[in-house]
Structure 1
């Protein structure tokens, strides 16, 4: 039998096993009850190596990732508690990276226990030894965003403009929760890349990859708010503000990769050097794929204005996520930016001017149709 035939036979066995679920007959009853209780409570399960091998069928369920520089290997599997479909990340650790992999695990566990949001991917289980760290997450069906955009082995999912707009809005909601609504204080992701965004079957994006996340501490206010505007500096020190703004920059880059043509530069700095001059000239048609048929030019202007603002070289001029949600929100009402409690005074005039310009340009674009280079100035 040829190698290809062997691989095809193995794949059929794995698919059949995935559909039936792993055997639980060898599980200790008391241990299983404890695992089930933790699973229901959302507490990551501590797994044995035997359980990891069983759920991945001896690591034969490899998933091909879109990012060749990924720090881990990914596998499909079944969690031996309910036969729950999962994605398994396997990190191989050396002497130099052992401390780092331990930090990754602790950060992922903390993220799962401290944040609960529909756009955040929670850790389901883990295993750690001197040589290997295993992280287990609920299966997201469609895989990572970069795989869907650029494909693996030449295959990719065709996302419409409205699909991408929905994904962008929901990522913004998740990031806003992390920065401004997390119960244990602001959380900075630190590595917001398209390879760390996973899509469910319904295209709901889930933010993952909290291995480099930072939990910030809010300063105690020296004066009452009394419904007055507050600056980030009233809550965070300068170093913490810089970390928050770095996440905003990453979100802007993510928007460019999500909406621009697939042939954009892979290096982030090169991408910004290429895209920002075109954004400033309002030459949006040069950024987009030619085969988009459902582009709403009004929403496209809003998205590109958001990307431009998020990628400002000066961090102080980048908006906060409570504003960002409104920048890309799919409606025709521009809410008052002054409603934002984390509003920076120096941003207000720039953002108001930019948003008014976006509306004016969008109105012109609606009248002339798609693919027109509009050069009107605010």
Structure 2
């Protein structure tokens, strides 16, 4: 009978511990479900508060990924097993990404009830917004009929929370409220590269600007491939995803299809934009850094030729390559709007680099670091040549000024100068 009080105490203690554990577990489950309701799967929800425009500036059609389709029984089981840990981790990563969360009401006010449309992409419409702080931003809204937008939303928030580079478009905030998924970016006042290459409202880009854009994009990709830990593969490099600021400096945008290199690279369906897709990726369903390099090579030729990949750009390039052997003679594909205002040697060097990027064999393509070095050297040589010409021109101007000054001297001083020269000559003769 003496042991009964001890057993009672032990039983009560165990009950208290179990109760505390259940309370803690219930608290975390409540927090997770609340976050999941905001950022979780909302494909079944349809929001009619934001107008969705069907026609946009992005003329390149994206294709879907296998992850968007229906799940297999095996994946359903795996999803059920990782439901608590995986889902909770994803929600906590987004909340801890350092990206600010904005209210839907504030964004509605900043965009004048979503009427300031400035673009349209696969993700959804993009609006210009004036925040209460005075900052101008771009607000991208997930289209209610988007099949891939939900996953892109989570990818962009989680990736851009840790990726920061002057040649990447910075994500400054997000909103997951009222059935909407919204991303807020730094505003790029000059719009997309595509709008400048093909838009009638903008003046044609000069050769120098095109090469600076090419270098800016290369630096952004180099950071993703070699500077980010773990490395990131963008998977959707194209002219409509390159944005320009007020100084015409370029930044890479749209990371919804991006993946960290450590994840499984094999997919059953293709994901990306036709015309920019690596043929090796299409045949093997395996994406690598060299897949980005191929897309970048297409972009380089797009800058050179001013022709969209959907307009037969690569067929045009291949025909030219048969005559150039990939090294010289690329002037036949140059954008006519340049009016011949480009350096021929520079053109051949850049085109030869682009042709290496689109090699059918991924191993033969250069790395983004190699590309940055080549383009930097080309631009540096051009700038050095310009400075040399300027300095030569300045020396010619100085000589002209000295002659003019001599011509404006008084006859007396000129006479004295001539006499002194004559006397010097006489003395030399003697």
TM bucket, shorter chain: 0.5 to 0.7
Separation in 1 of the partners of 2:289 and 2:193?
A: 22
Give the structure with the larger helix fraction: 2
**Residue of structure 1 aligned with 2:202, choices 147, 156, 160:** 156
Q: Which residue of 2 aligns with 1:51?
A: 106
Contact 1:105 1:211 in 2 (8 A): yes
**Residue of structure 2 aligned with 1:122, choices 151, 155, 170:** 170
Q: Would you say 1:170 and 2:216 are equivalent positions? A: yes
**Residue of structure 1 aligned with 2:321, choices 269, 279, 282:** 279
Q: Would you say 1:328 and 2:365 are equivalent positions? A: no
CA RMSD for the aligned pairs? 2.5
Q: Which residue of 2 aligns with 1:257?
A: 302
Contact 1:90 1:134 in 2 (8 A): yes
Contact 1:276 1:308 in 2 (8 A): no
Q: Which residue of 1 aligns with 2:124?
A: 72
Contact 2:261 2:288 in 1 (8 A): no
Separation in 2 of the partners of 1:315 and 1:274?
A: 21
Separation in 2 of the partners of 1:101 and 1:314?
A: 32
Q: Which residue of 2 aligns with 1:204?
A: 249
Q: What's the offset of the Cα at 1:291?
A: 4.1
Contact 2:188 2:244 in 1 (8 A): yes
Please give the residue correspondences for 1:79-228 in structure 2 after superposition, counting only pairs within 5 Å.
Answer: 79-80=131-132, 82-94=133-145, 97=147, 100-129=148-177, 131-151=179-199, 154-182=200-228, 184-217=229-262
Q: Which residue of 2 aligns with 1:248?
A: 293
Contact 1:92 1:131 in 2 (8 A): no
Secondary structure class of the residue paired with 1:119: coil
Q: What's the offset of the Cα at 1:273?
A: 2.1
Separation in 1 of the partners of 2:152 and 2:131?
A: 21
Alignment deviations for residues 275-316 of structure 1 (CA, whole Å, 9 cap, x no partner): 123134224222112342430112111110111000111111
C-alpha spacing 1:290/1:101, structure 2 compared with 1 (3 Å): closer
C-alpha spacing 1:126/1:157, structure 2 compared with 1 (3 Å): farther
Contact 1:253 1:272 in 2 (8 A): yes
**TM-score normalised per structure 2:** 0.56
C-alpha spacing 1:55/1:130, structure 2 compared with 1 (3 Å): closer
Q: What's the offset of the Cα at 1:168?
A: 0.4
User: How many residue pairs get matched?
Assistant: 260
Q: What's the offset of the Cα at 1:118?
A: 0.5
Q: What's the offset of the Cα at 1:150?
A: 1.0
Alignment deviations for residues 160-194 of structure 1 (CA, whole Å, 9 cap, x no partner): 10011111011111111110111x22110010111
Q: Which runs of 5+ in 1 are unaligned?
A: 1-40, 219-238, 334-378
**Residue of structure 2 aligned with 1:311, choices 342, 354, 358:** 358
Separation in 1 of the partners of 2:220 and 2:201?
A: 28
Computing the radius of gyration from Cα coordinates, the structure with the larger value is 2
**Residue of structure 2 aligned with 1:63, choices 118, 139, 142:** 118
Please give the residue correspondences for 1:219-238 in structure 2 after superposition, counting only pairs within 5 Å.
Answer: none
